[in-house]
Amino acid sequence: MKTPLKPPFDSAGKLSSAGSRPAFPVQLNSGKGNSFATKTVAAAARATSNNGGNGQNDLKKPFQPGASDGFGLDSAVRARMVRRLAEQGVLDARVLAAMGAVQRHHFVDTALANMAYEDTSLPIGFGQTISKPSVVARMLELLQQGLTDASGRLGRVLEIGTGCGYQAAVLSHLATEVYSMERLRGLHDKARENLRPLRLANVHLLFGDGMHGFAKGAPYAAIIAAAGGEAIPPAWTEQLAVGGRLVAPLQDASGAQALAVIDRTPQGIRQTLLEAVHFVPLKSGIG
Ligand code: SAH
C-alpha cells in the first residue's frame, strides 16, 4: 500500500525537497504509447537519409533550445540513440521509450549539447559526470527485469546521486514515485532547475547523504545508485522492499568497479556481480 509522504524536512539544512510541486500529471513523451518508438525510428531514418546515409551532420549541429521540442531535430537524433541502444542489446520497450522521451541535451552545458546523444559520459560540473546512455539504459533494464509487479511499472524508486537530474527524469517514466538524493548542494540545485520545466510531479529531489538512504520513503521497489563504494550501505538493503531490486556499482579491493544487482527475496539477500563499470565514488557527508 502506498502511504502519502510528507515533504522531506530541511529544518537542520540537512535534507530538503525541491519544494512542493504542482499537481500536474507527469509529462510524458509527445508520442503515444508504443507508437512513439516507431515514429521516432522513422524520423531518425529520415534524418539519416538527408545526410548522405550516416546522419553524422545532425549530431554536429548545435541544438537550439526551445526551437525543436517533440518531433524536431533533437527527437530524430534521440531516436537514433535509442536505436543504437536496442542494437547494443537493450530489449525492454519501456526503458527504450523512456530513454527516447527525455531530452538529454537539456541536462548538459550548451557547449556539450551536440554530444548529448553520443554514448558517452559528460561532465556536469562539481567534478561529477552524467553516465553514458548505454549504462543508464542497462541499469534501468536490470531494474525492470527484477520487477515482480504485474503492472510492468516500478513502484517507489530511490536514486542515489541525482547529479544533473537526467536519470531521475528517465525514471519518472518507469516508476510511480522517484526519490532522488544528492550530497552536493550545487548539483541538487542544478537538477531542480533542469527538472522544473518538465513538471514531473512524481520526482522528489532530496539534498542529503544517500549512504543513509531515505527511510521516510521506504520500502522501495527499486534502488539505483550512480556512485560506487566498497560496500553496499546497509541502509539501502534495509529500505529495499521484499521482492525489490537494487542496482549499484560496487568496488573491489583493487579499486575496480562492477555492476552489482541485489535482490531482496523472502529467503534473504541475493547478490550478483556483472560487468565492469566506471562510476564516480560514493562519498559520505554533504558538500
Ligand atoms: N544520475 C546522475 C549521475 C550523477 S553522477 C545523472 O543523471 O546526472 C553521481 C552523483 O552521485 C554525483 O552527483 C555525486 O555527487 C553523487 N553522490 C556521491 N555520493 C553520494 C552520496 N553519498 N549521497 C548522494 N549522492 C552522492
What CATH number is attached to the domain comprising 175?
3.40.50.150
Range of the domain at 118: 33-281
Say what the pLDDT of residue 149 is.
Answer: 76
Within a domain: residue 133? yes
Q: Is residue 18 part of a domain?
A: no
130 Cβ inside 6 Å of ligand 1: yes
b/e 212-238 (16+ beta carbons within 10 angstroms → b)? ebbeebbbbbbbbbbbbbeebbebbbe
Q: Note whether residue 21 is domain-resident.
A: no
Considering the domain boundaries, does residue 199 fall inside one?
A: yes
- Give the per-residue pLDDT at 253: 85
Catalytic residue numbers, as ranges: 131
Domain count, the chain: 1
**Chain mean pLDDT for the chain:** 81
Task: Say if ligand 1 is within 6 A of residue 178 CB.
Answer: no
**Residue 15 is assigned to a structural domain of this protein:** no
Q: Three-class SS of residue 271?
A: strand
Q: Is 28 part of a structural domain of the chain?
A: no
Ligand 1 centre from 33 Cα, in Å?
A: 31
Output the pTM of the full model. Answer: 0.79
The answer to the question of residue 37 being in a domain is: yes
39 CA from centroid of ligand 1 (Å): 33
Question: Is 250 inside any structural domain?
Answer: yes
Residue 49 has a pLDDT of 32
Nearest Cα residue to atom 4 of ligand 1: 163
Contact between 226 and 161 under an 8 Å Cβ cutoff? The reply is yes
pLDDT of residue 72: 66
> Residue 34 corresponds to which cell in the numbers above?
508504443
Q: What are phi and psi of 115, to 5 degrees?
A: -105, 5
For 280, phi and psi rounded to 5 degrees? Answer: -70, 155
Q: Whose CA is nearest to atom 21 of ligand 1?
A: 210
pLDDT of residue 24: 30
Rounded to the nearest angstrom, the distance between the alpha carbon of 162 and the centre of ligand 1 is 5
**Which stretches of the chain drop beneath a pLDDT of 70?**
1-72
Closest-CA residue, ligand 1 atom 14, reads 161
**Residue 183 Cβ contacting ligand 1 at under 6 Å:** yes
